Structure 1
Amino acid sequence: MASIQPESSMRAASSPLTAVSWAAVSAVAFSSGAAAAKFLSVKLPPAELAFIRAALAAVAIAGLWRYATRIREARDLGWHAIRLVLGVVAGYSFMHAITLAPIALVSLIYFSRVLLVPVAARFMLGERAGWAIWAGAALGTVGVVVSAGGAPSVDLGLGAAIAALAAISSAGSQVAVRRLTASNDPALIVLIFSIGSALALGPAAAALWVQPTIPDIPVLVAIGAFAVVAQFAAAKAFAAAPAPFVAPFDFLTVPASAAAGAVLFGEVPGLEMVAGGALVIAGAALVASLGKTGR
């Protein structure tokens, strides 16, 4: 049974390339799960989708008995609670947003959380945030407004607003993960979050429950599997490098989600989204190139 390592020793065993690789895996898995959830969103309510994703993830991780039996080894329970609350809000909001707006738009707005992670890390962990981080966050915010500015309906506008709430909550949740990796095994972090999410979302899912059909089952399983991979890979990435370095590589979710939306749902991004997306990615690039130096 591997012992829980302090942050310094965990970092020493890793490298920037390792962090980038895990971040890429997390981004691709997240985009795939979002596409699967979008596919079922016309049949099942957001609360049910969010609950099933969390429950299946909890079952999958709990199946690894060596982690399930170590749940008593969890440290920093306050940070686990912060991670749980912010993560549940982010997960439910994202699921709700994709029922109202194109997956590419929702994913783009959700991606803007990478600009908020360094800012949140400044306030939550005391990590240094230089001018590039604040400038990148401001540029990305403008990009989000531009990308959502062409929303032709109330539903799309509401979906964009809910996606923004998901982005803010997710940024705080990722920072909490960053803090937890200093004293908790990444798989244990995912297990506790998955179980807590399922318990938190259970009442709302039960109240709105719609019985899935047999053809829906494989898609639901895929949603849960992608959630496990995305969370575990993100925890490994944040354990390997500082949050300001890791977060911008989540940009891979933008083209992946746009491709999925176009191929599977016929959602072709408009000019507003392309322009706004360019600003958001430029903001993330600014944070990645200069923010990690503290300038």
Structure 2
Amino acid sequence: MTVETAPTAQTSNAARNGVLIMLLGMLMFSLNDVMGKWLVSTYSVSQLMTIRSVAALIVLTPFFIKRGWRSLILVDRPWLHALRALLFAVDASAFYFAVAYMPLADTMTYWLAAPIYVAAASPFLLGEKVGWRRWTAILIGFAGVLVALEPSSKSFSVPALIALVGSAAFAFALLLGRTLRSTPDTTLIFWQLSGALIFSLVGVGANPAGWAPLDMQAVLCLSLLGIVAMLAHILVSRSLKLADAATVVPLQYTLLFWAVVFGWIFFGDTPHWTVIIGAALIVASGLFIFFREQQLKRRGGISE
């Protein structure tokens, strides 16, 4: 009896740990968002992204050395890696720009729609089959985005449009991640951070006057931003190795909860009712799409 139940107990413990680690990872991402919103009120997005990327690259250098610089740089389909890195750089830069002018919950609502964009684009870019059930969920998700955006001449502001562009960039970066899934995580992270650094340096070069003076405290805060984000990515990756995706991926929607809580505590933000309704539609459609894809994988990928 003991021999038969031991693996089950181990699996249960691993799943529980995976859940806890994912929740911690989402909390870390949320703290990163709060820090970013606070720092971008003083420093430009380019300056913030530059120091954030440098700090993360320095911390990860021992892992890069262990992997070997040659294997990090000489990769198959380098243009896809470069495009993915560029998309993630646009994603992060757009987020920090948007969150400087918009409440955390509003900004996060647009980013949570990324899986819906992925599902909508996958039939055209990856040749995946999507049935009527998931198309219905995709349309509901898009409706949620429109409700949250509350279309009007006022809502189509530059920050709102940049938020939509950033969330779309994030979605297409995720699509490329599916194409490059055989690439080691270390290599993907190296290209992602290097791309963010190059992208931000271009921004600094375009507006050198936007570089604010730095003291040691500012450098530490900006560096901590990159380290917190890096740790959050590591926690999420570890969680997915300990537990099934169906168990832990839905927990990523706790980002919206923390966005509302931290936005209210630190910045006095209160979400408008349209954002709450739109977020509910986006989360519901995103969860349906995710669980439907998991179900079809178990059935052998039949489209429904």
Q: TM-score band, normalised by the shorter chain?
A: 0.7 to 0.9
Measured against aligned partners, the alpha-carbon deviations of 1:88-121 in whole angstroms (never above 9, x if no partner) come to: 2111111111111111100111111021222333
Alignment of structure 1 residues 157-236 onto 2, 5 Å: 157-182=157-182, 184-206=183-205, 207=208, 208-233=210-235
- 3-state SS in 2 of match to 1:85: helix
Match of residue 103 from structure 2: 102
Task: For residues 144-194 of structure 1, give each alpha carbon's deviation from its aligned partner in whole angstroms, at most 9, with x where no partner exists.
Answer: 22122288956x833222111111110110121232221x21122101210
CA displacement at 1:73 relative to structure 2: 5.4
Q: CA deviation at 1:197?
A: 1.7
Which 5+ residue runs of structure 1 have no aligned equivalent?
Answer: 1-14
Question: 1:86 & 1:277 partners in 2: Cα distance?
Answer: 24
Distance in 2 between residues matched to 1:28 and 1:95, nearest whole Å: 17
Map 1:85-164 onto structure 2 (within 5 A). 85-149=86-150, 157-164=157-164
**CA distances 1:38-67 after superposition (whole Å, capped 9, x unpaired):** 011110112222222222222222232213
Residues 68, 133 of structure 1: alpha-carbon distance in 2 compared, 3 angstrom cutoff: farther
- The answer to whether the 8 A contact 1:56-1:224 is kept is yes
Q: Return the letter of the residue paired with 2:162.
A: I
Q: Does the CA contact (< 8 Å) of 1:86 and 1:169 recur in 2? A: yes
Deviation at 1:20, TM superposition (A): 6.8
Aligned residues of 2:55 and 2:226 also touching (Cα < 8 A): yes
Of 248-257 and 81-90, more deviation after overlay is shown by 248-257
| 8 A contact 1:23–1:250 mirrored in 2 | yes
Comparing 228-237 with 207-216, which one deviates more in the overlay?
A: 228-237
- Root mean square deviation of aligned Cα: 3.1
Where in structure 2 are there 5+ consecutive unaligned residues? 1-13, 297-302
Q: Deviations over 1:193-239 (max 9, x none)?
A: 10122012202124221123433333212210122234445566788
Please say which of residues 172-181 and 37-46 is displaced more in the overlay: 172-181
Counterparts of 1:135 and 1:212, CA distance in 2: 50
In structure 2, distance between residues paired with 1:99 and 1:259: 17
Structure 2 equivalent of residue 42 of structure 1: 41
Find the aligned partners of 2:173 and 2:246 in 1 and give their Cα distance.
14
Equivalent pairs: percent with the same residue? 20
Q: How far has the Cα of 1:23 moved from its partner?
A: 5.6
Larger Rg: 2
SS for the counterpart of 1:43 is coil
Matching residue of 2:77: 76
One-letter code of the match for 1:95? Y
1:63 partner SS: helix
Q: Identify if the C-alpha distance between structure 1 residues 146 and 194 changes in structure 2 by more than 3 Å, giving closer, same or farther.
A: same
Instruction: Report what 1:284 is aligned to.
Output: 286
Q: TM-score, normalised by structure 2?
A: 0.79
> Could you tell me which of 261, 264, 267 is aligned with 1:259?
261
18-27 vs 100-109, greater mean Cα deviation = 18-27
Could you report, residue by residue, the CA deviation over 1:116-153 in whole angstroms, capped at 9, with x for unpaired residues? 22233333333332323322222122112212228895
CA distance 1:20–1:76, shift in 2 (3 Å): farther
Q: Tell me which moved more, 42-51 or 57-66.
A: 57-66
**TM-score normalised by length of structure 1:** 0.81
**Does the 8 Å contact 1:44/1:212 carry over to 2?**
no
Q: 1:217 to 1:150 in 2, by over 3 A?
A: farther
State the alpha-carbon separation in 2 of the partners of residues 242 and 173 from structure 1: 22
Aligned partners of 2:32 and 2:228 also within 8 Å: yes
Residues 23, 78 of structure 1: alpha-carbon distance in 2 compared, 3 angstrom cutoff: farther
1:243, distance to aligned residue in structure 2 (A): 9.3
User: For the structure 1 residues 46 and 233, does the alpha-carbon distance in structure 2 shift closer, same or farther, using more than 3 Å as the test?
Assistant: same
